[in-house]
Amino acid sequence: MNLSSRRSRQSKPEARKSHRVGFWWFAYVAFVIYGSLVPLQFTPLPWNDAWTTFQQIRLLNVGTGGRADWVANGVLYVPVGFLTAMLLSGQRRGAVRFAASLGAMVFVAALAVSIEFVQLAFPPRTVSLNDLLAELVGGGLGAILAGVASDRFRELWAAMTGAADRLLPRLLEGYALAYCAFSLFPYDFLLSATELADKLHSGRWGWVWAAGSGRGTGTAAAAKIAAEALAAAPLGLLLASWGKSARQAWRFGLALGIGIEFAQFFLVSGVSQGFSVLTRALGITAGALAWHRRHRFDPLRLAAAIRHSGWLLATLYILSLAAVTGWFELEWQGLEAAAASLREVRFLPFYYYYYTTEQVALLSLVSIGLMYGPLGVVAWANFMGPRAAASMAMFAAAVVESSKLFLVGLHPDPTNVLLAGIPAWLAYCLSRGTARLSLSRSVCKMHFDNRTS
């Protein structure tokens, strides 16, 4: 084998990785452009007038109400800088990676300025120096992060796409970072004594329970509590994998819960309550206990149990979806009212996300993941593919969203149908990777036992 053929073989995996990064870069940049122009109400504007108006944009006083939106604009551009730097640097390090980060910052600046200028022709979008500043800072942070942590990201992606032996530790580490980042989103911290006084007199905090957290139906509130504990469980898995006991995990959970709730008190949109400290600690402890009993986990038995209890699980799942949606607590309306509601539905993707706060939008995305992710596990257990998992989730979401036409006070969001397939697909891939890891370890153990016996 000559040297050129070896180089060509080595370059093929790198080319495939570059294509993957390029695909996600293109998809995310397209999403940013589209999301920045929703609701797509184009109004022609003469070039001279647009340029004159753009030169006169000012730094606005957004106040506490607009601070979350301002910060969210910066967060939105972090992946732009990160993916652009990764695309430019490839697998190279040193000066090339540094130059790639600088190039990513230049691209972010050009993209942000271009979008803000185009937004002048898409009312009710607002254009201000606040948005430009946030986008430049967010994109710059993403580019710097790519120079520091791109290798970790590539390892996580490699684990998600087939390297089962590296899947769980990398996934847990990435989840821990995402969990902490999500807990403080949208980072709209209090900046004055007046804001602090307003927070003290609001219902968004409580020693045990915050009055501002009791929104929605009772079932939805119970689901939120369960989701809070479940979301903390992977942190317990991570701690136990580092050799921590369940008791140590409990202490860490209490400390982390206190820290997060204390920090959330200083967020304008944050809801801080003592009960959440308990739920986080319980979730982390449960995760640690599950890790210490991981040797009892048999993916084949789990898949067989899911198939054997298919009708029971399907019934419980349907009832859970119905309860969370409000079927048993909200008032139902007739066909005529439902038809009227249907005529008012906007089918433009992410239309309703524009008219809500960033925090509510992110919570909506998380709830979609919790509602439809389990279908990915079901698809894996029944030997279906990831496409089947996504299709089942989208069908379930279509039923749920259609039912909102008949529920007083709710309206369907067609975007949720499009998004539902993503968590199901991810859950399928995670289940498959975890099963491969468990089975490979079992085979290695059997081989070792046979050789030593």
**Domain membership flag for residue 376:** yes
Q: Which residue has the higher pLDDT, 68 or 154?
A: 68
Entry field: residues in the chain: 453
C-alpha 259: how far from chain center? 22
Q: Which of 280, 296, 312 finishes a domain?
A: 296
C-alpha triplet 321, 367, 287: angle, nearest 5°: 100
Q: Which of 246, 271, 296 is the last residue of a domain?
A: 296
User: Tokens 């390029």 belong to which residue?
Assistant: 22
Q: What is the pLDDT of residue 7?
A: 45
pTM: 0.74
What is the domain extent for residue 111? 14-161
Same domain, 269 and 389: no
Q: How far apart are CA 359 and CA 366, in angstroms?
A: 11
Q: Given the structure tokens 């369960």, which residue do they identify? A: 226
pLDDT tens sequence across 295-344: 777 788 888 889 999 899 999 999 989 988 889 888 999 999 999 999 99
If pLDDT is split at 50, 70 and 90, which confidence band does 2 have? low
Cβ-contact 206, 265 below 8 angstroms: no
- DSSP-assigned letters across all residues of 375-401: HHHHHHHTT--HHHHHHHHHHHHHHHH
Task: Specify if 282 maps to a domain.
Answer: yes
- In a domain, residue 222? The reply is yes
Q: How far apart are CA 409 and CA 397, in angstroms?
A: 18
Give how many domains the chain has, as a whole number.
3
Q: Are residues 442 and 301 in the same domain?
A: yes
Pick the closest to residue 434 from 237, 199, 185 (CA basis). 237
Please name every residue paired with 407 in a beta bridge, in sequence order, or none if there are none.
Answer: 332
pLDDT digits (tens, 9 = 90+) for 366-392: 889 889 999 999 999 999 989 999 999
In a domain, 7, yes or no: no
Residue 333: other Cβ atoms inside 10 A: 15
- Domain check: are 313 and 420 in the same one? yes
Q: Which of 133, 111, 124, 105 is nearest to 33 (CA)?
A: 111
From 296, 318, 340, the end of a domain falls on 296
**Closest of 170, 173, 151 to residue 160, by C-alpha:** 170
